[in-house]
Structure 1
Amino acid sequence: MKNIYDVAIVGAGPGGIATSCEAVLFGIKKIIVFEKGNNHSNTIRKYFKDNKPVDKDWKGIHVDLIGNINFEGGTKESTLDLFDDSLEKHLIEAKFNTEVSHVKRVDDHFEVVVTSGESYLSKNVVIAIGKMGKPNMPSYKIPLTLKKQINHTIIECKGNEDVLVVGGGDSACEYAYFICKDNNVTFNYRKEVITRAHPNNVDNLMKSAEEGKIELRMGVDIEKIEDENGKIKAYFTDGKIKLFDRAIYALGGVTPKEFLLNCSVQLDGEDNIILDEKNKNDKGLYVAGDIAGSIGGSIALALNHGYNIVTDLKEKLAV
């Protein structure tokens, strides 16, 4: 007979880490975490520039922490250290480089199936994946020959490049002013005013533009892009055409509906995840992190999700 875990957690970002650590602190013994990357917190590692400030009150919205993981903001590095420390102190079985294919209910428990074909049984399952695994793309076609130059993060920026940053949110603003010291940056947003980003990020962007470090192309859109001898040729709606070495599309992420349905997650008529105050989606099935929060990207909110879930599990498992 297979070992049956008390809780299986899909995703090792802040929501998954918080759930696993809180579970140990509440006396839940059989915990397993699945992460398709080779380490925890891959979104932070991949999408955040080194020494990037990480705020507890993300986008200026205050979140009161209710759990046992102390997080008061810091940098990318200190945030990763915090989660490393939490994992080292707690007995958690983690399976990295392991991607979950689907989760199905079997009688009074769940079967978690990974892409290698192996399956694991658990009384409860927490889906704690982020949206950034499936970034939004523009409506126009991206030439396959430009695949390496079209990015969603600044990780690939080499310096001394002409870089086009597209978007109007926090990530777009942050990316633009982080790389403008070493690159020629053009910031493009289809609207004339940025309303979705935190005021601090907008101020940093505008200050860099005033200093001549960033060219703003506001209130115009991109009609199409072409490959011109390995360069990105962008056609703007105001008639301007410009060449770039690299383009970064920071257009946010999409809730991976197909994956959620494969994991037995219940959605309402508008494809929103159904959740109660304890982050419960269905009996024994919970959702945490980016896809469960109204404040996408809030680490503090993801930590609270983990605490909410475990307090519910504690009563259910009678630990």
Structure 2
Amino acid sequence: MEHTYELAIIGAGPAGIATAIESYAVGMRDIILLEKDENHNATIRKFYKDNKRVDKDWKGQKIELDGTIYFMDGTKESTLDFFDQMLDHESLELRTHTEVQKIVKNDDGFEVFVAGGSIRAKYVVVTIGRMGKPNKPDYKIPPSIKNQIHFTLDGCGSGEKIMVVGGGDSAIEYAVELCDRNEVTICYRRGTFRRANPTNQADIDKAVSNGSVRALLNTEIIELESESGKVKVIFSDDSSELFDRLVYAIGGTTPSGFLQSSGIREEDGKPVHDENYQTNISGLFVAGDITQESGGSIALGLNHGFAIANYIKSL
């Protein structure tokens, strides 16, 4: 007879790992974490620059931790070490390189479909993030310049003219990171960087003041073209400029196709859930960034895991 796990968790980021740890703490043992990338916390590994600050109170949100996990401010590296230690301590089953295609409810639980087969579980928690699917611009990216368009710093070198598009924390961090060895412009459709945390606001103000970064505020891009091996950026005022490459940091989107294929209802771009983070399908839960307006708070994800674990235990 095919094995049935007590709990399957899709996504091994902070919320997924917290759900596993808190579920273990309340007595569940047959738990599997499914992660499509090669290691846990892929978003932090890919989208956070080295030594980036990671705050418990993200964007100033004061979050009191509810569960057994004691998380504190640190860096990208210390945060990854923290989650490494949690996974090692509890000897939880983490299956990487495993992308979930859809979830199907059956009479005695769920069947989680992956490439080449499926996994059965009594309960399922979806903790996939938003940044795994970065937002892309509305205008077309010509194929001839596709290799010069990025959504992380991967592929960026030195001695280039680069434009970073966006005005949040990631965009500012990318611009500041790149400006030591490149000519950097940051383009943002609003007039200030008020969405960013205070540290990043101070960093970009300093970089702009000393000439390390040029800021194009209240500026909209309407089109990209290829010209002489460069990216030609055309702005809404009909002006244009050539860049070696562009880096977009304009947020991420909920993977609606996956949610829909699994029968999870959405409203306003987020999965619908009750106070226990249970979706419209009994026994199927959501946690972490996917439930948040803009994502990013590790502490909230940890609390989601605690709430779900205790609710399942009470059933």
Whole-angstrom CA distance in 2 between matches of 1:148 and 1:307: 42
The CA deviation at 1:35 is 0.7
Q: For structure 2, list consecutive stretches of 5 or more residues without a partner in the other structure.
A: none
**Per-residue CA shift, 1:173-224, capped at 9, x if unaligned?**
1211122112111010112223322233222111100010001111121121
The CA deviation at 1:294 is 4.0
**Which position in structure 2 is the counterpart of 1:273?**
271
**Which position in structure 1 is the counterpart of 2:205?**
206
SS of equivalent residue, structure 1 residue 139 = coil
SS of equivalent residue, structure 1 residue 203 = helix
Conservation of the 8 A alpha-carbon contact between 1:295 and 1:301? no
Conservation of the 8 A alpha-carbon contact between 1:293 and 1:302? no
Choose 80-89 or 200-209, whichever is displaced more: 200-209
TM-score w.r.t. the length of structure 2 is 0.96
Residue 100 of structure 2 is aligned to residue 100 of structure 1: yes
The CA deviation at 1:123 is 0.5
Conservation of the 8 A alpha-carbon contact between 1:57 and 1:300? yes
**Which position in structure 2 is the counterpart of 1:17?**
17
C-alpha RMSD of the superposition: 1.4
**Which position in structure 1 is the counterpart of 2:256?**
257
2:278 maps to amino acid = K
**Which position in structure 2 is the counterpart of 1:77?**
77
Residue 287 of structure 2 is aligned to residue 283 of structure 1: no
**Which position in structure 1 is the counterpart of 2:122?**
123
**Which position in structure 1 is the counterpart of 2:33?**
33
The CA deviation at 1:40 is 0.3
SS of equivalent residue, structure 2 residue 181 = coil
Whole-angstrom CA distance in 1 between matches of 2:229 and 2:71: 44
State the number of aligned residues.
314
The CA deviation at 1:266 is 2.6
Conservation of the 8 A alpha-carbon contact between 1:169 and 1:194? yes
Alignment of 1:82-161 (within 5 A): 82-116=82-116, 118-161=117-160
**Per-residue CA shift, 1:16-38, capped at 9, x if unaligned?**
11111112222201101111101
**Per-residue CA shift, 1:260-301, capped at 9, x if unaligned?**
122232334x45322222211131111011011245111111
Conservation of the 8 A alpha-carbon contact between 1:152 and 1:248? yes
1:297 maps to amino acid = G
Whole-angstrom CA distance in 1 between matches of 2:266 and 2:211: 47
Whole-angstrom CA distance in 2 between matches of 1:171 and 1:158: 18
SS of equivalent residue, structure 1 residue 153 = coil
Whole-angstrom CA distance in 2 between matches of 1:169 and 1:271: 19
Conservation of the 8 A alpha-carbon contact between 2:270 and 2:292? no
Q: For structure 1, list consecutive stretches of 5 or more residues without a partner in the other structure.
A: none
Whole-angstrom CA distance in 1 between matches of 2:28 and 2:222: 54
2:31 maps to amino acid = I
2:241 maps to amino acid = K
Conservation of the 8 A alpha-carbon contact between 1:126 and 1:285? yes
The CA deviation at 1:61 is 1.2
SS of equivalent residue, structure 1 residue 312 = helix
The CA deviation at 1:239 is 3.7
**Which position in structure 2 is the counterpart of 1:168?**
167
Whole-angstrom CA distance in 2 between matches of 1:276 and 1:200: 35
Whole-angstrom CA distance in 2 between matches of 1:231 and 1:20: 47
Whole-angstrom CA distance in 2 between matches of 1:10 and 1:300: 19
SS of equivalent residue, structure 2 residue 270 = coil
Choose 61-70 or 76-85, whichever is displaced more: 61-70
SS of equivalent residue, structure 1 residue 27 = coil
Conservation of the 8 A alpha-carbon contact between 1:167 and 1:249? yes
SS of equivalent residue, structure 1 residue 196 = coil
1:208 maps to amino acid = A
Conservation of the 8 A alpha-carbon contact between 1:49 and 1:155? no
SS of equivalent residue, structure 1 residue 147 = helix
Conservation of the 8 A alpha-carbon contact between 2:102 and 2:114? yes
Where in structure 1 do 4 or more consecutive aligned residues deviate above 6 Å?
none
SS of equivalent residue, structure 2 residue 46 = helix
